[in-house]
Amino acid sequence: MTAPLKIGIAGLGTVGANVARLLIEQSAALNVRAGRKLTFAGATARDKRKDRGVDLSGVEWFADPVAMAKSPAIDVFVELMGGEGDPAKAAVEAALAAGKPVVTANKALLAHHGAKLAAAAEAKGLALNFEAAVAGGIPIIKSVREGLAANRLERVYGILNGTCNYILTTMESSGRAFGDVLAEAQKLGYAEADPTFDIGGMDTAHKLCLLAAVAFGNAPALDGIHVEGIERITPHDIVFAREFGYRIKLLGVATRSDGGIEQRVHPAMVPLGTPLADVDGVYNAVVAEGDLVGKSVYEGRGAGAGPTASAVLADILDIARGPRLPTFGAPAASLKRPAITPMGDHQGACYLRFTVIDRPGVIAVISRCLADQAVSIESMLQRSRAPGEAVPVVFITHEAREAALTRAIKAIVTAGVVAEEPCMIRMERF
């Protein structure tokens, strides 16, 4: 009989407390699936006295995550504290140095230090599992790294942030304000400790570079990602999008070409009736396009205690069962930094909303600035108010180079015809 596997959990918040509770309450079923006994042996968090709804009697408490990572009291280190730096980084490094496999849900840590940590794990022949870090409960890392391993993947993209998708969907269905819906998402345990990571797009960027690393076999490249959030999306944009036959979603898109990889995170117009447009609430969805499989779509809950614990426990079960796969699906020594295609080279159509004072000649100025940059207009819509009042004017462009669009928008602002900062949302026609 294989010896029990002693689990140490660092971080007992939304995710960690639920993993701990399930290890205790579901122990019989988990032991059968693991093929050995799993023991919740060690725990650490900031405040020992906090009631977490988990029975910690018989579990060794550590004041310091690094001390737990090194302790012989545990065999597997489960990092659920979050944050790109210490103590998460130091503790994961300490666990790997001490010969212990690691499970983490921490996309910020891996987006910044993934290649180094993968090399440290590989040098010791250890697992560094991070299924929960990307798209919560969807087993997308396993699907891409193992299930699609025979494919050359050209593009991976999707809705990777449950908080943003929840906010956009709820704003649309209820007409409620952005801040009000964000507070609700935080209460439901979807949002990061710092919610600006969610709404500003950085959480999606963290996940996208991990997904791209596994899909394309490169080191996670966070610094090359173009990132925009959803803060400037208004109810106007949501209504206009519908009128044009689209919904607005925060997407992460990674595309491989001969010149390198393009990675971008921004709100996008997604055509109604396509798989991503129908993904609502806290759900995430990922599309992977491979030469053999074509397009495959994965959908599920992207955040929250249950879905995330599902992924963390699956990673623990993988370790209990053995054997180990390379962290990013290729030997760490082959993980080179990819060449990054600049966002200015991106080709695409876009939705442009200008708030203008309704007076003669304004549309002519905007059209001239677009024409000067060879940006062609596909359609236009204006909701009129009284002459002299500010009014939204919306254009959908044909495909154009991002750099040309940016120059055109700058010229329009400089021409003094807009009353507030223009809103640009890229169209995605997958």
136 belongs to the binding site for ligand HSE (CB under 6 A): yes
Residue with tokens 């399930």: 22
Question: Using CB under 6 A, which of 169, 170, 255, 308 touches ligand NAP?
Answer: 308
The entry of ligand HSE, ligand NAP, none near residue 163 (CB within 5 to 8 angstroms by kind) is ligand HSE
Taking the alpha carbons at both ends of the chain, their separation in whole angstroms is 51
Sign of torsion over alpha carbons 233, 238, 239, 244: positive
Pairing of strands 400-401, 347-348: antiparallel
Question: Using CB under 6 A, which of 75, 203, 402, 428 touches ligand HSE?
Answer: 203
45 belongs to the binding site for ligand NAP (CB under 6 A): yes
Q: Which two tokens stand for residue 182?
A: 């964000």
3-state secondary structure at position 261 = strand
Task: Kindly state the number of chain residues that form the binding site for ligand HSE, as judged by CB under 6 A.
Answer: 11
Residues of span 234-263 touching ligand NAP by CB under 6 A: none
On whether the CB atoms of residues 346 and 401 are closer than 8 A, the answer is: yes
11 belongs to the binding site for ligand NAP (CB under 6 A): yes
The entry of ligand HSE, ligand NAP, none near residue 129 (CB within 5 to 8 angstroms by kind) is none
Question: Closer CB to ligand NAP, residue 85 or residue 344?
Answer: 85
Of 114, 120, 24, the closest CA to residue 69 belongs to: 120
Question: Using CB under 6 A, which of 123, 177, 183, 193 touches ligand NAP?
Answer: 193
Distance of closest approach, residue 268 Cβ to ligand NAP, in angstroms: 22
Distance of closest approach, residue 294 Cβ to ligand HSE, in angstroms: 27
Q: Mind telling me the catalytic residues?
A: 207
Question: Using CB under 6 A, which of 191, 202, 356, 405 touches ligand HSE?
Answer: 191
93 belongs to the binding site for ligand HSE (CB under 6 A): no
CA distance 278 to 283: 10
71 belongs to the binding site for ligand NAP (CB under 6 A): no
Binding segment (CB under 6 A) for ligand NAP, from list 8-16, 35-43, 68-76, 412-420: 8-16
Question: Closer CB to ligand HSE, residue 15 or residue 362?
Answer: 15
CA distance 38 to 48: 23
190 belongs to the binding site for ligand NAP (CB under 6 A): yes
304 belongs to the binding site for ligand NAP (CB under 6 A): yes
On whether the CB atoms of residues 12 and 43 are closer than 8 A, the answer is: yes
Of 131, 118, 121, the closest CA to residue 98 belongs to: 121
132 belongs to the binding site for ligand NAP (CB under 6 A): yes
Task: Kindly state the number of chain residues that form the binding site for ligand NAP, as judged by CB under 6 A.
Answer: 28
Pairing of strands 260-271, 400-401: unpaired
Question: Using CB under 6 A, which of 76, 111, 127, 303 touches ligand HSE?
Answer: 303
Of 117, 115, 112, 110, the closest CA to residue 132 belongs to: 110
Question: Using CB under 6 A, which of 62, 157, 190, 298 touches ligand HSE?
Answer: 190
87 belongs to the binding site for ligand NAP (CB under 6 A): yes
CA distance 16 to 59: 14
Question: Closer CB to ligand NAP, residue 110 or residue 168?
Answer: 110
CA distance 62 to 8: 10
Distance of closest approach, residue 322 Cβ to ligand HSE, in angstroms: 27
The entry of ligand HSE, ligand NAP, none near residue 15 (CB within 5 to 8 angstroms by kind) is ligand NAP
As a dihedral over the C-alpha atoms of residue 101, residue 107, residue 111, residue 114, rounded to 10 degrees, the angle is 0
46 belongs to the binding site for ligand NAP (CB under 6 A): yes
Q: Which two tokens stand for residue 288?
A: 């992977």
- Give the up-direction half-sphere exposure of residue 157: CA atoms within 13 A in the CB hemisphere: 27
Q: Which amino acid is residue 189, in one-letter code?
A: G
The neighbouring-strand residues paired with 16 are none
Exposure letters 72-94 (e unless 16+ CB within 10 A, then b):
eebbbbbbbbbbbeebbbebbbb
Peptide bond into 323 cis (omega under 30): yes
299 belongs to the binding site for ligand HSE (CB under 6 A): no
Neighbours of 386 (CB within 10 A): 7
Binding segment (CB under 6 A) for ligand HSE, from list 29-37, 90-98, 191-199, 329-337: 191-199
Q: Which two tokens stand for residue 28?
A: 């019989």
Question: Using CB under 6 A, which of 302, 326, 329, 392 touches ligand HSE?
Answer: 302
43 belongs to the binding site for ligand NAP (CB under 6 A): no
392 belongs to the binding site for ligand NAP (CB under 6 A): no
Interface residues with ligand HSE (CB under 6 A) are 136, 161-163, 190-192, 198, 203, 302-303
Binding site for ligand NAP (CB under 6 A): 11-16, 44-47, 50, 65, 80-82, 87, 105-107, 132, 136, 189-190, 192-193, 303-304, 308
